[in-house]
Every structure is written in structure tokens, then in C-alpha cells.
Amino acid sequence: MLPPELQRQYTIEASQVSPQGWLHLHETNRLLQEIAGAHADSWGLGYEGMQARGLVWVLNRLHLRWRQLPRWRHGLTIDTWVGEMKGPVSDRYFRLGTHREAGLGAVATRWVALDQASGRPARVQFTHVPVLPGTPDPALSLDSLPRVEGFAHAATFALRYSDLDPLGHANNSAYLRWVVDSYATGFLTRHQPLELKVHYLAEVQAGQSIEVWTLPESAFAFQHDLRVEGQTVCRLFLRWSPDNP
């Protein structure tokens, strides 16, 4: 039997970092997708395995906490495992570190299996998949983000062809890039994203425009509402470092 955890090691490349040399938030998410897909593939529940069942995994919620972002040319080790599977839902966890520091960051994610024909949640047969209960960080939560009022429009982005995934929808990493790009450059050069919560609510299609709405909670914490034609498609919370070390 295959081990319940999968570990992969990466080297942070120049194309993945900010001008300050820190790993981009959306690039972090791409690495999480890559190792999650590889782990699911090993149990026949990756992209091709789900396609054969007429199903697809979609990311529903994510909570990430960095103690410090890795830098350009640094190594990054990611471990992933399934913490719970029930009906159409799979909770997957990640531990982020280096060869010297195991506790650099932690992530909790919730994935939902959808029937491709109806778009509705569908039960997955997973009796052979090992489950390791427990999270890598007790502060992680997959509770939904509350609906709040008082947002102000921050930016509008057009969905580009390069934003699309194999299903023809915006890749979930694109949402993170849109939100970060809505901040002023001066703010981004002084602060690092240390905590991210995301609740994906609806898909974004080719040809649509995405509005980013922002509500400050403090000088370093912000709620974001992503909207398409007035409909909220994603809720997001970002907490930043007080300054850039």
C-alpha cells in the first residue's frame, strides 16, 4: 500500500517571486495544486480518474498560515495528506518547510467533487484512501467566511486566456493574483502576506470581468469580495506582516 502522505521538494525560481524575492501567493497555491493532484493520482482520484467517473474536484475553501515566506533559490518542502473524506467532500492538509525548518507554514483545504453533467456535489467512492485525522496547525479553520457589508471597489480585471484551467474556468490561483494586484505597489513592497482565507463560491468563465472589492479590518488585515456582474464569486481574507523583513 502507498504511504498516506506525499512529500515533494521544490526550488523557488525567479519566475515565482516578487521584486523583493518572496514567493508569490498565487505561486504558493499552484504548488499546492500540483502536489495535491499528484497525491490524488496515486489513488486513482486525480484529474483523469475523476474524469472517468464523470466527476471533477473543485477547491471550495482554503486557509493558509505562513510564519515566513520562502525566498528565491530557497528550497521548499511540502507534505500533503487527506484528513477526512465524507460523501463529496475531502479535507486535505499541507505542511510547508525547508530542510532546516519544518514549520514554515501550514494549509487546510476543502475540496468538493462535482458531477460534470449537473454541476452538483457527487459522492466519491474512497474506501481505499488512507485518512490521517488532525491538522498541521490548530489555528487552521475551514469555517466559511461571513458575509459583511461596507466594501469599496478596488480594481477590475478581465479574465485572460492564460487564467483558464483544463475545464475552461478561471484557475483558483487567478483569484489570489487579482486580489494581490488590487493593492498599491508601495504597500506590497513593504508587507508580506502571512495569512490567507478563501471561500470559493462560483466559477468565473472566459469573457467575464472580475471586480475586487475591499474592506479594511486594520492596517494589515483586509476582507475582499470578488464579484462578477454584481454576484459574489469568492470571499477572501488577507493578513499582512507589519513590515517587510
Q: Residue 111's closest CA among 124, 97, 127?
A: 124
Query: What pLDDT, on a 0 to 100 scale, did the predictor assign at position 12?
Result: 96
Judged against a pLDDT cut of 90, whether residue 125 lies above it is answered with: no
Question: Do the first three CATH levels of 1-136 and 144-245 match, i.e. the same topology?
Answer: yes
Distance CA 31, CA 217 (A): 29
Q: Give the three cell numbers for residue 61.
A: 475553501
Distance CA 45, CA 41 (A): 5
Instruction: Residue count of the chain, please give it.
Output: 245
- Mean pLDDT over each residue of the chain, to the nearest integer: 92
Instruction: Write the pLDDT tens digit of every residue in 192-209.
Output: 999 999 999 999 988 899
Distance CA 105, CA 107 (A): 7
- The dihedral through the CA atoms of 225, 227, 232, 235 has a sign that is negative
Percentage of the chain modeled with pLDDT above 70: 96
Average pLDDT of span 96-115: 88
Q: Give the three cell numbers for residue 22.
A: 518572496
Largest CA distance in the chain: 52
- Contact yes or no for 96/77 (Cβ under 8 A): yes
**Cβ-based neighbours of 229, under 8 Å, separated by 6 or more:** 208
**Domain ranges within the chain, ordered by starting residue:** 1-136, 144-245
Q: CATH number for 144-245: choose from 1.20.1250.20, 3.10.129.10, 3.40.50.10110, 3.40.640.10.
A: 3.10.129.10
Q: What confidence category does residue 101 fall into, taking pLDDT thresholds of 50, 70 and 90?
A: low
Judged against a pLDDT cut of 60, whether residue 224 lies above it is answered with: yes
Query: What pLDDT, on a 0 to 100 scale, did the predictor assign at position 1?
Result: 62
Judged against a pLDDT cut of 70, whether residue 99 lies above it is answered with: no
Burial of 148 (0-12, 13-18, 19+ CB in 10 A): exposed
Average pLDDT of span 121-127: 82
Compute how many other C-beta atoms are within 10 angstroms of the C-beta atom of residue 197.
22
Instruction: Write the pLDDT tens digit of every residue in 44-78.
Output: 899 899 999 999 999 999 999 998 889 999 999 99
Query: What pLDDT, on a 0 to 100 scale, did the predictor assign at position 166?
Result: 86
Distance CA 63, CA 45 (A): 23
Give the predicted TM-score (pTM) of the model: 0.94
Q: What CATH number belongs to 1-136?
A: 3.10.129.10
Judged against a pLDDT cut of 80, whether residue 2 lies above it is answered with: no
| 132: helix, strand or coil | coil
Compute how many other C-beta atoms are within 10 angstroms of the C-beta atom of residue 217.
12
Beta bridge partners of 169: 205
